[in-house]
Amino acid sequence: MDIRTSLLLLVAGVAGGIINALAGGATLITFPAMLTAGLPAVIANASNAVAISPGHLIAALADRGKLPPATRRTISFMAVSTLGGAVGAGVLLLLPERLFVLPVPALIAFATLLFAFAPQIQGWTIARRKTATLPPNGASSAVLGLACVYGGFFGAGLGVILTAVLSITEPNDIRAIKALKNLLATCVSLAATLIFVFQGAVRWPETATMLLGAMAGGYAGGYLIRILPGPVVRQFVIVAGAVMTVIYAARYWC
Amino acid sequence: MTRSASATTWTYRRADRDDIVELASWRGAGSLGLRPHFHDESQIVVVLSGSRAFRIDGATVTVPAGHAALIPAGMLHAPVPTPDDETVCLNAYVPASRASSSLSILRIGARWRNADEISPDHIREIADDTLSRERSPSARLIDRSELGIALTASVEPIGAIAAGFGRSREGFSRMVRRELGVAPHAFRLLARLNHARQLLRAGEPIAAVAADTGFSDQSHLTRLFRRTFGTTPGVYWRD
């Protein structure tokens, strides 16, 4: 790895850490950085997931006071998330390189749209919850499981999806939902990370460099939150995601 | 730059098959950085442990363990040294009869530990896999080969060839650099080195090869051959 590549990964990691601390959506920056560093797409995706995974963990720990009690429902949700994340990671590793490369632009576009419409999605789910009764346990778990399969597979925008799903299925206030979301995202990311590591799908020099940057960025994010407003960061992520969609569509589809 | 004789080099062997021109294997700490070059054949790089990295078209491409890459014939690539403790790698050179225009990477998993375990049939399989996703070659590629042929078919000065394309010498150099990745003279040198490699493979003595391909003497050929292909003509010839 040359100096330029190391610097790129470090800077992308710092940016990703800050973005995840303030708005979410780091993968839209960090995954393309892994690709630019020259890694094959599947390895880049797995390495990226490992490099930014500590962020979820820290977020979950930071808000642990709001974590739901360990009811049967919570524990079954954690189990479903872990299983979903593992399945998603397994599917990624089973997929031939060229079959993963094709949907990459669509995955980036999908995640970008999720971020762009996150407020609308959230507004809609909350409005829906007031009118409808809570769905049964089985249905909630199935939807949650599907979301977590996506999370283990690609992961960008998982937070938005989880918040939306939990807003419908859980009767709690938004802060508790966010805390539960962080907990479940951690389960997904831990399961996927373990599979990636043990299947040898992680390139450590690149991953370690980005991870270092991401931790510094996450730490800095706590201070920057006063001077960098979240909405601005969110708009930056949406623009970056749109640009990445165009770049990778041109590269893989044309 | 001098390198001790014991420094690791590429070990070449023939495959004695029509569909594989030759094989080259590497085992040792991160492989050598070499000068940018291309081959007349398509190169399949199979990495069993460690990693390989190349500079291609201004970008770095990493081939991690458990992956194979196909570098099409004529594509300029510069191997970059990698920091791994042990890299095990097999290069297979296959005839470029089947069109391929872009670099492709394929996951092969941990099927092999040793380069010797990879049979010619496995290489065929990998080649088929990487080529099956190929799109038809672009019009630009035809431009490239036209340029390459013009540069190597004659020993005319670059200025005369430039005139044939209706360009100034500088304008022509820029076009060659853009399309082929190296300056006209460097491209010619690489083509001569490839020709030398082909003659050595056919068993022609080194001194004769050096003379036939326009190198001033055997040591001149040896120096450039090693910086470009990672082994000396002598070792290559004996293998």
The CATH number of residue B52's host domain is: 2.60.120.10
Handedness of CA B200, B203, B208, B212 (dihedral sign): negative
Does any domain span residue B126? yes
A189 near A151, Cβ under 8 Å? yes
- Does any domain span residue B233? yes
Q: Which residues of B touch A42 (CB under 8 A)?
A: 107
User: Are A200 and B65 an interchain contact pair (Cβ–Cβ within 8 Å)?
Assistant: yes
Q: Which CATH number fits the domain that encloses residue B221? A: 1.10.10.60
Same domain, B185 and B157: yes
B108 and B168 fall within a common domain: no
Number of folded domains in chain B? 2
For residues B211 and A149, what is the distance between their CA atoms, to the nearest angstrom?
A: 63
- Which amino acid, one-letter code, is at B195? H
Query: Phi, psi (5° rounding) for residue A174?
Result: -65, -35
Give per-residue pLDDT as tens, B218-236.
999 999 999 999 889 988 8
Q: Does B63 touch chain A (CB under 8 A)?
A: yes
Q: Of B132, B154, B188, which residue is a domain's last?
A: B132
Domain, as residue range, for B105: 11-132
Residues B115 and B152 in one domain: no
Q: What is the ipTM of this complex?
A: 0.73
Q: Is B131 on the interface with A (CB under 8 A)?
A: no
B2 within domain boundaries? no
B166 and B56 belong to one structural domain = no
Q: Does residue B4 fall inside a structural domain? A: no
pLDDT in 10s for each residue of chain A, 254 residues: 788 899 999 999 999 998 888 878 899 999 999 999 999 999 999 999 999 988 777 777 777 777 777 888 889 999 999 999 999 999 999 988 888 888 899 999 999 998 888 888 888 887 777 666 666 777 888 999 999 999 999 988 888 888 888 888 877 777 788 888 888 999 999 999 999 999 989 999 999 999 999 999 988 887 887 788 878 888 888 999 999 999 989 888 87
Query: How close B232 gets to chain A, by Cα (Å)?
Result: 27
**Neighbour-count burial for B44-74, b at 16+ CB within 10 Å, e otherwise:** bbbbbbbbbbbbbeeebbbbbbbbbbbbbbb
Same structural domain for residues B233 and B215?
yes
* Residue B217 shares a structural domain with residue B166: yes
B27 and B72 share one domain: yes
For chain A, say whether B66 makes contact (Cβ under 8 Å). yes
Q: What is the pLDDT of residues B142-200, one digit of tens each?
A: 566 788 888 888 778 888 888 888 889 999 999 888 888 889 999 999 999 999 999 99
**Domain-terminating residue out of B132, B153, B171:** B132
Q: State the smallest CA–CA distance between residue B22 and chain A in angstroms.
A: 26
Q: Among residues of chain B, what percentage have pLDDT more than 90?
A: 29
Q: Are B152 and B127 in the same domain? A: no
Pairing of strands B11-13, B22-28: antiparallel
Looking at residue B164, its pLDDT comes to: 85
The sign one gets for the Cα dihedral A95, A98, A102, A107 is: positive
B178, B95: one domain: no
List B105's β-bridge partners, or say none.
B69
Q: Are the beta carbons of B59 and A98 separated by less than 8 Å?
A: no
For residue A49, the enclosing domain spans 3-253
Same domain (yes/no): B53, B84: yes
Classify A248 in phi/psi space as left (phi over 0), alpha (psi -120 to 50) or beta.
alpha
Is B27 a residue whose pLDDT tops 60?
yes
